Structure 1
Amino acid sequence: MREELLRNPVFAMAATQFDGVADFLELNDELRERCKWPKRLITVTVPIRHDDGSTKVYFGHRVQHHLTRGPVKGGLRYHPNVDLGEVAALAMWMNWKCALMDLPYGGGKGGIACDPRAMSMTELEHLTRRFTMEMIPFIGEDIDVMAPDMGTNEQTMAWMVDTYSTHAGRLIPGIVTGKPLTLQGSAGRTQATGHGVAFLACRALNKLGVTLTSATAIVQGFGNVGSHAAYGLSNSGVKITGISDVSGAIWNAKGIDTRKLRDHVAAHGTIKGFPEAELIDPAEMLCQPCDILIPAATDMVITGDNAPHLKCKVLAEAANGPTTPEADEVINRRGDIFVIPDVLCNAGGVTVSYFEWVQNLQRFQWTEREVLTKLETMLENAFTRVLHFAERHKLPHRMAAQALAIKTVADVKSQRGLFP
């Protein structure tokens, strides 16, 4: 199983990052092995009947990296390329993210290999409900709490709540987060990750002495995270010059009106054809001059090939694992890019998911202002800790963030001991 996981390039990248941090922390072999490998790797078959009467079997995965510090927390994605290795890597990163933010969670991640864009709402509902039933022995408010991710949304979570609650015989809203507000979801959850990205990017510019109203940003990916990051930066006075999605990329050196672009995407489903910007090659867009570069789409987009050509002051990693180890080496040698690593930069989502979970357990709702204020306070604390640790130990920001997180998990494992 170890070799199978390591054959996946995303998990291999996560493992390489972990090994480097474990060397720095001088973890002994026992703690190193216990911290690195996931506790549970669960794969289930999900047979459903399609609208045309045919039956198809899908494969669903859920990886629970550690339950040492509490129930695991992490998203559920629907995408054709989902596989166990990728899910395991994302669960590992989520574990470090929760530890860095001091949330009482371990890391989890799940996914079903499917194309949600080619499926009807009925088929997606059947897929979700069947997967939830298959997972019931392994999930619960105190075991594993899922959330939306790529290809899933609050409706997916509503189906999961209903399926689990019907099985239990009572409403259990805390089984997932990212639910509709009418099902005891949390105000501020939809924009949480993007809001956090924008907040931290602005803090980084403040550290560099760059005035927000004179700054520019490029956003790769205009889904939920990228769009809300763009809105947040625009509201702070930052000019968005480039944006991309799966259809391509657009550019306007004078600035893109993100509200008009949002309306265009709502009407057409893509940024393509937006009249107030010109087309640009998506790869070229990443290397255009800007103050903030936000990869908010997929993993491994900042590579050893394009890292030497980046012209940003701040690299704000809204996606999980967007920067390869080869690119990290280049960026570290350059020394002129302020990296906000993914385990910190996109932690707004899981932090507000934690707030939603707490509200569900308390049966008490917070206002959006309360939620976003608490989020910014926690992000500011983590941001400050990472910068101080990096400065004290002369480390890159990614290693500093992961070292703080991994040490937290390792310390708890050491304190709890190893059950015979």
Structure 2
Amino acid sequence: MNNKVEKVTGGLNGTIKVPGDKSISHRAVMFGAIANGTTTIEGFLPGDDCLSTIDCFQKLGVQIEASGDKVKVDGKGWSGLVEPTEILDVGNSGTTTRLMLGILATRPFHSVVIGDASIAKRPMSRVTEPLRQMGATIDGRNNGDLTPLSIRGGHTSGIDFTSKVASAQVKSSILLAGLQSEGVTSVTEPHLSRDHTERMLQAFGVDVQREGLTVSVKGGQELTSQHIVVPGDISSAAFFLVAGAIVPSSRIVLENVGVNPTRTGIIDVLQQMGANLELMNERETNGEPVADLVISTSELQGCEIDGDIIPRLIDEIPVIAVLATQAQGKTVIRDAEELKVKETNRIDTVVSELKKLGAKIEATDDGMIIEGPVQLQGNTVNSHGDHRIGMAMAIAGCIANGNVTVENSGAIAVSYPNFFEHINNLK
């Protein structure tokens, strides 16, 4: 599937609601599945990744009804999960894979997890190794680093785990296993990663302790069903925040966006670059901070992006690179090695695709250097099956002279099924 994006001449103006937060949608289904009682979810993201989570938990014996952005999960507690008769297919979803492994590690049955060609290349030993330390039996290609993975869960014991990477998926997988393990399980990170798991577990009645960069849970805890309202995904909002800043004569209002401080690196970067950005109507839902974001055309300055902020904007770097092409001076992104093990090697892919549009951009070992401002030129680019690359290139198309054709744009449905419709609605 290909999509052609034309240069926007009259600005992007109006109000949109971006799809529900992908991270929170995944967790709402999973936690509802292991909770006691019926969990209802509003604002669910019905993208391919989150639908993979629903499919896997249905195969584990959980009754789940989904209609658009509304979902009902009939949880029967931890013991309500049963041995699947089919292979659990996670599709393209790393979150489904890694978090579900933490849940399966404690269940007294056998299961097999598989995904698509992209998942087959992504490193899983970052979760399978600590889960084995806890007592789970996990095997797979490359000694359990690559899918397909075979899991035989059972009696597990808590561990004190120090993670080499700041990864919400690693932290969440171990904590979920810890909830049904003997003793206390703690995870210490080099930087604070997304804390949606900790916030939502507390909403489901779990006692979660945090001290500095260490978070811990006691074993034997049960979850109680909840009504979850999923805020808009800031990673999806990021594309329109950048579009509003770089397309002339634009003003976009993004309603009901999650502004969890572990995710708002994109807001910090926009403010650091001098963007006209306001947060309005700030509030809290299910322990998650939410706001309406207003962005308008801005004069931007290049900046340096590195260190502790990187885990807070790792998914937004493809579109931040597009933003940087329109900023005055040099933008340097460092400490982003994690991009190499996303849906694609996002460092190389962002650089190669933006170069096709005439960007002055170079890859480094742990990031990229971008010179601006540059007038981008139309061309054919490719998402390489990566939803965030596809959307970033489409936003670049809004300011390029001539049309930008995004090949393999179907990948965008993973997180933002009505993305192109929203661009057209704002014209």
The verdict on a shared fold, with TM-score over 0.5 as the criterion, is no
Q: Which has the larger strand fraction?
A: 2
* TM-score (normalizing by structure 2): 0.30
Q: Which has the larger helix fraction?
A: 1
